[in-house]
Amino acid sequence: MSNIVRTRFAPSPTGDLHLGGARTALFSYLEAKHRGGEFILRIEDTDLERSTPSAVKAILDGMSWLGLHHDDGPYYQTKRFARYREVAEKLLNEGNAYRCYCTKDELEEMRNAAEANGEKPRYNGYWRDRSEAVPLDASGAPIKGVIRFKNPQIGQVVVNDRVRGSVVFENAELDDLVIWRSDDAPTYNFAVVVDDADMGVTDVIRGDDHLNNTPRQINIYQALGLTPPSFAHLPMILGPDGAKLSKRHGAVNVMQYRSDGFLPHAVLNYLVRLGWSHGDQEIFSMSEMIEHFSADRVNHSASRFDVEKLTWLNHHYIKTLAPEAVVEEFRWHLQQQELAEVHGPSALDLIVALRERCPTLKDMAEKSAVWFKPVANYDAAAVTKQINPVSLGALKTLRNNLANLNEFTPASIHAVLEKTLAELGIGMGKLGPVTRIAITGTTVSPALGQTMYLAGQTGALARMDALLAAFPV
């Protein structure tokens, strides 16, 4: 086995890819790339009742959208059952595991007895050292039992966690966990050890809800004569109110953030700062994340999710990235609004015109709709305030001047605006609002030159003609 660093993201496909999982994937990816290693994707789908193809697709789609591309995989645990059986048999043959035939009722009695004695409810090891024949059920058929790992009963397991430091577990507090279920499938704690060992995983980065699993897994590693990987358990993400992150805080499918108009890099930049920092730096390119990240510098305290901060970061990228870096993602949003570029302005021109005023791409696409179809309604309040014989006369003069333009660009349009104002001896207040109403139906739009440019010369003239026809003087 090579000495290359290998990390993995190993989600269970029982639901969508949420923020917590996305952060785990990001940190695992960055740790591998920072150290010149490889990043593995593994789908832990042994929960046959709850795992679904749609959840697998949600995970793969989310990872692809975020740009967290795996170097190896994806692996699927359901395709590795033969390997798990092989290792389970090895543990049985070497005396490190045993078959247990306790019924559900017997296990419940054990738990109740332990609780009655003020003890931790758990399996009491009844079949640990027994050798009698397989018991039969009421019909006379052999009971289909489970395989349990023979956990050490003395000593300690010390987890040298890269986030939490040294965490000590007493073996006497760990019961003999099931590694093979009666439905002929491996359990999580067993399969994950076999997988990480076979795949050469050197560093496991995962949520701190897995911390209590770690001593059990380390004992299985040692029983197999293997060296455990290093572990880093990430603290949870809380909502702004300090409660566990839930849907009301924004714990939704990562792809919902795409639907809401967030750029993937904005999401990544926000997630990397949930528990990790590099001085006071807030804005990170992917190359900077890779250069500076280390799991050793993850804070052990929980982080709070703040959608306002994420929105600010998203707007920063919309405003500062080259339009070409945003355009493909923006085109996706135009498609969601059923806006085709062949029927309106180019996506690049829209980004330039709207990026200062739109914090999300969804907002930008919604505001773009006005340039793709004729104005259906004029804002009543704006009409009352701005439409009058003087403004309409100024609009007509502007319309005629624009019709003579050979090159229809924001700069040439602006020059015609200035010429028209000088020609009529009026200020922009007499011409600007009525022109905006003609083009967009309201008095709110980007710079006037851009507003008309986005409509195109033919479209702008047609819109002006429509307003003049609607309000004849």
Nearest to 462 by CA among 388, 470, 393, 428: 470
Task: Name, in order, each residue with C-beta under 8 angstroms of 65's C-beta and a sequence gap of 6 or more.
Answer: 254, 255, 258, 264
Nearest to 351 by CA among 332, 375, 373, 374: 332
Question: Cα(179)–Cα(169) distance, rounded to whole angstroms?
Answer: 20
SS3 189: helix
Question: Cα(185)–Cα(81) distance, rounded to whole angstroms?
Answer: 7
Query: Active-site residue 144, yes or no?
Result: no
Helix (H) or strand (E) holding 420: helix 410-424
Q: How far is CA 399 from CA 186, 201, 440, in A?
A: 75, 68, 15
From first CA to last CA, the distance across the chain in angstroms is 86
SS3 320: helix
Query: Is the Cβ–Cβ distance between 123 and 110 less than 8 Å?
Result: yes
Q: How many other CB atoms are found less than 10 A from the CB of residue 211?
A: 17
Task: Name, in order, each residue with C-beta under 8 angstroms of 212's C-beta and a sequence gap of 6 or more.
Answer: none
Give the CA diameter of the chain. 108
Q: How many other CB atoms are found less than 10 A from the CB of residue 81?
A: 14
Instruction: Please tell me which residue in 144, 247, 373, 385 is annotated as part of the active site.
Output: 247
Q: How many other CB atoms are found less than 10 A from the CB of residue 75?
A: 18
Query: Is the Cβ–Cβ distance between 333 and 362 less than 8 Å?
Result: yes
Reduce the secondary structure of 251-286 to three states and give it as a string: CCCHHHHHHCCCCHHHHHHHHHCCCECCCCCCCCCH
Question: Cα(98)–Cα(88) distance, rounded to whole angstroms?
Answer: 10
The residues carrying an active-site annotation are: 247
